[in-house]
Chain A
């Protein structure tokens, strides 16, 4: 993935945040002062800051000098070249969500754990053990102990 496309993505994201703040302040301006005071105050400050952020990002180019070397205060951001890896895990996450909707937690959980761990190289004993552990956790604590009202699984709504 090129540096230019990452810069474009960053600018679009900053623009999105700017628009969100504008929208929030506009909507809040129609409420009573009691309800809107914090949104108007901090949203207003946010709009000014977002303009600064946008200007600085549109001024910077891929040839701009690198950010000053300092102490990393957070874990490093996801590498820009790991887009496919990101898409892959996002597919798994969304697949798990769809699985929960279709067959419910109690079936989707062991299925997801088994398939994921098996596909990425775990042996059968590890995959089955993990699946059983996760299913046991969900079934034992949530179903049997807490009597959680599970959402109705889509596929089972026909029966």
Chain B
């Protein structure tokens, strides 16, 4: 049977339905976003794990060095289950007879799937001979390659046709990034092909990889350490654990993002809902002091009163969870489906989980209960004798700090003084409003700051750091004649030879596999901003990406060993500087210094170009690709637009977050402002009775609310900055260096956005003020 107190709860909530709805909506958002992001995190993790297991992905890949010795030692390492080998090479390929690009050729046995690092055949069939190739799904889709199509691979004897046997997915290339340095691939310029290993092994440009799988009982960390030592001992160029392969590392960033958001959302939204509930209930308890006094005087226990008001919070939590949890499940499944679809993961898990919904319900109930706790305790402590007297101290008096600091403020008109002092009138509510505004500003600035930073850093990467319009890779070393020929092409403003080769830098305890790029002295193709000076690329020594400072524990002036296997060079160089570049971690060296190490021979393998303004880039691609020794052509603008395109999902996501931040701000500010105005109904009526126009009263209330919002917005900007800083810092590693850059206009727009939310949220309240019936208030003696 429904008790009368339950009925009272229902009717009290009905009387304050808009404020209660605001609370419930905020909880729904928090729980739904928690469920969505957490389920997405679990689904994606399970999808990846399932793929890795199904395709027997290697736990460690060791590249280069004495592969026989590495394979033997690896097999003897505790925890290792299987060891196999394969060949890999970067080779120019030609699509449709003219589109030149680089492809990574990965060797597979023609007889059937390998033991480790298998591929999933999505269409067509597995390799059926030495002239067949399997095309990784991103490349196949980008060029619309189907079974039976032909592509050309540049072999020792020139362009050789290969038949497409099928389209495949590979766990290693879920995201087909060429390397950790080039995490944003351009599908126009890079793709992955799987070819007969027997053919590839014979190629002079191929390198050997040792693929190692661990036994289920292996101590992954200990086995990783042991194998890294094996790799180092036998001169391997690189040793990559499963977690660090470029594709996996890039996707792990997204996973970490979902995991962080699944924590951040409930924190932000439930905190906001909690404050809104607190404000609503505090006001309710204040308004019902007489009723509470009567109930206590009539024999209701304090526990009953406490439970009665706690029920408001629990009910808000329950309703929020009832809608939020299923919504979260749907959202999680949808995000998982969209994301796995966008990345093209062949085996996906997109379920809604009961356990996540359960956690969401618990979150909502705890938030509801916590927010109702203080008002419920206050209600239980009300003395019936005092409460039934009916006179409640309406607020505090006192001059503001501003008036004390700035004495001329005391001469303000009384109505404006009431605005200033209204802020300190109910400190708990003011604090709730300010904290709520801070939360909303934090949410908005964090995400907006991330957008700003990424835009600024991508712009910096593609305009200030990389200054070339295009680069071409050659099958033979670049000669002065070739450079002259390129410079003579119509539309080319300048061209420089550049050496771009694989390199391994050895730190004190670790080594790092990357690319060494050597530029001409005074190169116009790359902007160097060294940590310690602005002098550009030094003549001697090497310049390293800044993450190697911590990654390899290096400092300026240290001597480090650098292996450059493609040039047959091992050298010890001085660290002449560190550069902080947004994408990748490279080693830079002056071309003359590198040439000295190679005995003066021509080693440049690519040409970087800048074009005349306004040239047709497609025409330039055709003109330059036609040159006989050109193996691949990469347009910098394509890379930039691909990077921006990849960020599109992120921008959409952030846009949704900004909108939800606005909703949250609206809900919270609406509740606090409603309470603020409700408390003053009698004062408003008095002012109206005294002849103060409605417009003046609205202006006074608006001013107070705007002031309160600004007071919350300013610390919110600082907290938002710190949040954004740490949010980006968690994504920074050797792949990305997302330093925080927030445009000054972003601060202004954030404050404007929050002010708009505040002004919008007070509109219904002001309408209620307009509708206050002075006569009724007078008649009911509530004045």
- A and B together in one complex: no
